[in-house]
Amino acid sequence: MDPAAYGAQRNSGNEMIFSSATIVKVAAGSIFTGTVIVCGLWADEVHLRIMDKVNARLPEGEKFKPLFWGTLKRARLNDEYHRLFPEGNNLKQLHRQMAIMFVALGLLFLSFIAGQLF
């Protein structure tokens, strides 16, 4: 594996020297990856909070189970949340977190492509 392929060079003391462009790429990739992970976990926590709030007001036979989530089940939970909590902000928070997560994922992809091209 050639370190020069990753933007590294060796100085006279045989130490690795990375270019500033490589450092920026690694930093940006780390920030975008961290943002995706944090927003994804935070959105999952908000989703569980929504499910707990809705289940607290539903009869036993209609409560949501925590496993096997699909599009229809998620839509039904959102509808129940709107019906039971018309002024609730948890869905708005969930949508903001998901939007930030997907933007960071897109930027991570673009930074990867830019790193391959330049």
Query: Could you state, in order of their start, the residue ranges of all structural domains in the chain?
Result: 3-117
Dist CA 108 CA 118 (whole Å): 15
Q: How many residues are given for the chain?
A: 118
Number of CB atoms found within 10 A of residue 58's CB: 12
Amino acid symbol at 94 = L
Residue (of 68, 78, 82, 73) closest to 98 by Cα position: 78
- Mean pLDDT throughout 87-116? 92
24: confidence class by pLDDT, cuts 50, 70, 90:
confident
Cβ atoms of 53 and 27 within 8 Å: the answer is no
21: confidence class by pLDDT, cuts 50, 70, 90:
confident
Q: Please give the structure tokens belonging to residue 44.
A: 């999952």
pLDDT above 70 covers a percentage of the chain that reads 84
Which tens digit of pLDDT belongs to each residue from 39-71? 999 999 999 999 999 999 999 999 999 889 899
Task: Identify the pLDDT of residue 114.
Answer: 81
What backbone torsions phi and psi does residue 60 show, to the nearest 5 degrees?
-55, -40
**Better-scored residue on pLDDT, 16 or 36:** 36
pTM for the full predicted model: 0.77
